[in-house]
Amino acid sequence: MRDRGTCMRFGGKLGLTFASVFIALALCEVAVRLMDNMPVWSAQNFGRRNPSFLDVTRPAEFDAMLGWRHRANLGPELLRSNGLVTGEHGTRMNTREIRPLPQEAILAVGDSFTAGSEVVEHETYPAQLENLLGRAVINAGVGGYGSDQMILSAYRLVPILNPRLLVVGILDDDINRAGYKLYGGARKPWFTVSAGKLVHHNDPVPLPTEPIDREPHWLGHSYLALWTASRLGHDHLIRFRVPQ
């Protein structure tokens, strides 16, 4: 009888714990839907709502080789609306002044960490590196880039800028992105390995107007799951059932 009573009490506590977690998650689900003006009682798969870098990032434009890039010569007068100042080839300036790109500088390519997401021009690491070394550093980082796009960008810019040194800023997830057909909802080049060699796909990258065949993960029915994954930089895992 004692063992049975113990099991019943344990089962009751376990049930209460699960119920508490469920209620907490449900309240969070409602809260984030209200916060982002999403329908509260809808059972739709929010993963089908697929804004891309080209839709939501003002400085971005389509690029047939890279998928997307920064628009060139975005002046400081547009700073409030686009968030950064760019010069030739969409490179981010290290100050709020657009200056010609020097030859034989240090060229930095990478993702949003290199580009300096959410910081002003002089706070990016290429700008800080320029100040530390006393040598010109060109910031060619672009948000969302995988390692493949970084290298392709370098192949394009090196013959033009003739840099003395190339810095490639790679984070671990950037390597995974090289196998994705899409990232952030935008098409990109992607690579597979065949017979020990890299095979370049989406060369050129299809136009944004061409339809995308995709099937979102079932977790997309939870806007909370998509909201959380988006802030961790992995919303593509929910928007697409298999890596794209």
CB atoms within 10 A of CB 56: 11
What is the Cα–Cα distance from 69 to 54, expressed in whole angstroms? 9
Closest-CA residue to 226 (of 57, 28, 56)? 28
What is the Cα–Cα distance from 157 to 167, expressed in whole angstroms? 13
- Which residue is listed with tokens 């999403």? 38
pLDDT at residue 131, as a whole number: 96
What is the Cα–Cα distance from 41 to 34, expressed in whole angstroms? 10
pLDDT at residue 165, as a whole number: 97
pLDDT at residue 173, as a whole number: 87
- The tokens describing 104, both together, are 């034989």
Measured in whole angstroms, the distance separating CA 11 from the mean position of its chain's CA atoms is 44
Residue type at 238 in one-letter notation: I
Closest-CA residue to 188 (of 241, 143, 228, 233)? 143
pLDDT in tens, the chain (244 residues): 556 667 777 777 788 888 889 999 899 989 988 887 888 888 888 776 666 667 766 788 999 999 999 999 988 765 554 568 999 999 999 999 999 999 999 999 999 999 998 899 999 999 999 999 999 999 999 999 999 999 999 999 999 999 999 999 999 889 988 888 888 778 899 999 999 998 999 999 998 877 666 667 778 888 888 888 877 767 767 766 544 4
Phi, psi of 98 (to 5 degrees): -80, 120
What is the Cα–Cα distance from 153 to 140, expressed in whole angstroms? 8
57 in Cβ contact with 175 (< 8 Å) = no
What is the Cα–Cα distance from 60 to 84, expressed in whole angstroms? 11
